[in-house]
Amino acid sequence: MQRIDLLLTDCRAATMVAGGEPYGAIEDAAVAIDGGRIVWIGPRADLPEFSPINTARLDGRWITPGLVDCHTHLVFGGDRIGEFEARLGGTTYEEIAKAGGGIRSSVAATRAADEAELIRRGRRRLANFVAEGVTTIEIKSGYGLDPEAELKMLRAARYLDGDVRVVTSFLGLHAVPKDQDRDAYVSQMIDEVLPRAAAEGLADIVDAYLEGIAFTPDEVSRLFDKAKALGLPVRLHADQLTDGGGAALAAKHGALSADHLEYTGQAGVEALAKAGTVAVLLPGAFVALAETQKPPVEALRAAGADMAVASDCNPGTSPLLSLRAAMHLACVQFKLTPEEAIAGATRNAAKALGLAAETGTLEVGKLADIAVWDIERPAELCYWLGGALLHKSWRAGRPIVTRN
């Protein structure tokens, strides 16, 4: 009889494995966990004989993979509440950015904060996601915009790795600092800061912002070529405000994902699907900016492109501390089905971070990243806007959240 660390019984499992039953559902399931990984999952009637050190009977609750938030800017200094008020008064995001606000206003506050302050504020924000079943979260730099501040952000993000898995992204090409030579800045980020981040093990992924108010295809391509030379995968903020060919560029470079995509055209959609690049939808920014141009969800669906959903938590354009709220908004604003939204925050989000082999579905061999919910149907995770639905969670078989 095989000795195992933990056996979960009396549960309903939304495995989120593609194909088969909706949600990959197993109505009366059991899960065997050992060494932090799933060693068996299936109908309880078929459960082999195990000798578990611990058993958790879940009283018929639903379990899912731990949620994955694949796009956040969680580490930053200050806030941008004044810009929120200005937008409510009719000022556009582009107008704010051109007047020296936007990303640049967060830069000053982030540079002024020491690493301990960034960690303290980041930990407080992160707690909101953990309480909602997130077991993996991505955190970008991009509010430092000079060598030491960018690396400081990445170190702070690394420090937050613990109860949840933190994936770090180097976003040096986020905005050009005020009064700095553009070419010199781009070269510094590519040739100096990125290699330092890689050498110090601070960056898992390299990201960039391709847009008329940000960086050009040529600049992004230079960054991506350097990232590949350093063995780092790439992602791209693409086509948020205009169709700048960002989706196609991301696909050309084999990017893990292209994110935002409100203005992506059919050629970009087809390129993403062909390349297997995940389309990451960010409804928090869409709502916060009062946008009207929606990402081409129907075209992405028809092309067979994988769609992820993320919070885009950031101080200016998506002050959203809830991945579940992003899932709800993806359904209401972008017309995803609840199953698509949950897949977008589990299976496809893991793929967008290059972690599909490790997490995102409940399958034998994968890490035991598991969330237990007080719900009667999986769709409730998207239906309720708020509410404490999480009962318990594990990351790699270790308990994170436990509620009575």
In this structure, are 154 and 31 located in the same domain? no
149 and 9 belong to one structural domain = no
pLDDT of residue 403: 84
Residues 157 and 269 in one domain: yes
9 in a known ligand binding site = no
Q: Same structural domain for residues 230 and 172?
A: yes
Same-domain status, 57 and 71:
no
pTM: predicted TM-score of the whole model, two decimal places: 0.96
Same domain, 271 and 342: yes
The rounded distance, in Å, linking the Cα atoms of 310 and 194 is 25
Q: What phi and psi, each to the nearest 5 degrees, are found at residue 224?
A: -65, -35
Residue whose C-alpha is closest to residue 291's, from 136, 93, 116: 93
Q: pLDDT at position 186, please?
A: 97
For residue 134, the model assigns a pLDDT of: 98
Q: Clarify whether residues 126 and 31 are in a common domain.
A: no
pLDDT of residue 88: 85
Residue 143 marked ligand-binding: yes
pLDDT for the residue numbered 404: 64
Residues spanned by the domain of 392: 2-65+361-400
314 is in an annotated binding site: yes
Amino acid at 152: K
CB neighbours (10 Å) of residue 245?
18
324 with 385, same domain: the answer is: no
Q: Contact, 18 vs 347, CB < 8 A?
A: yes
Using alpha carbons only, give the angle 151, 156, 158 rounded to the nearest 5 degrees: 95
Q: Are residues 342 and 371 in the same domain?
A: no
349 and 366 housed in the same domain? no
Over 99-161, what HEC string results? CCCCHHHHHHHHHHCCHHHHHHHHHHHHHHHHCCCEEEEEEECCCCCCHHHHHHHHHHHHHCC
CB distance 212 to 238 below 8 Å: no
Q: Are 50 and 199 in a shared domain?
A: no
Strand-pair partners of 42 = 30
- 240 labeled binding residue: yes
Q: Are residues 36 and 145 in the same domain?
A: no
pLDDT at position 31 is 98
Which CATH number does the domain housing residue 98 bear? Answer: 3.20.20.140
Write down the residue that tokens 């196609």 correspond to.
248
391 is in an annotated binding site: no
Does 73 count as an annotated binding residue?
Answer: yes
Q: What total of structural domains would you count in the chain?
A: 2
Q: Residues 195, 227: contact at Cβ < 8 Å?
A: no
CATH number at residue 33: 2.30.40.10
- Residue 253 marked as a ligand binder: no
Spatial CA neighbour of 311 closest among 128, 153, 147: 128
Q: Of 353, 370, 386, which closes a domain?
A: 353
In a structure prediction context, what are the per-residue pLDDT tens digits for the chain, which is 404 residues long? 799 999 999 999 999 999 889 999 999 999 999 999 999 999 999 999 999 999 999 999 999 999 999 999 999 998 888 888 888 888 887 788 777 777 777 898 999 999 999 999 999 999 999 999 999 999 999 999 999 999 999 999 999 999 999 999 999 999 998 888 999 999 999 999 999 999 999 999 999 999 998 999 999 999 999 999 999 999 999 999 999 999 999 999 999 999 999 999 999 999 999 999 999 999 999 999 889 999 999 999 999 999 999 999 999 889 999 999 999 999 999 999 999 999 999 999 999 999 999 999 999 999 999 999 999 999 999 999 989 999 999 999 999 988 86
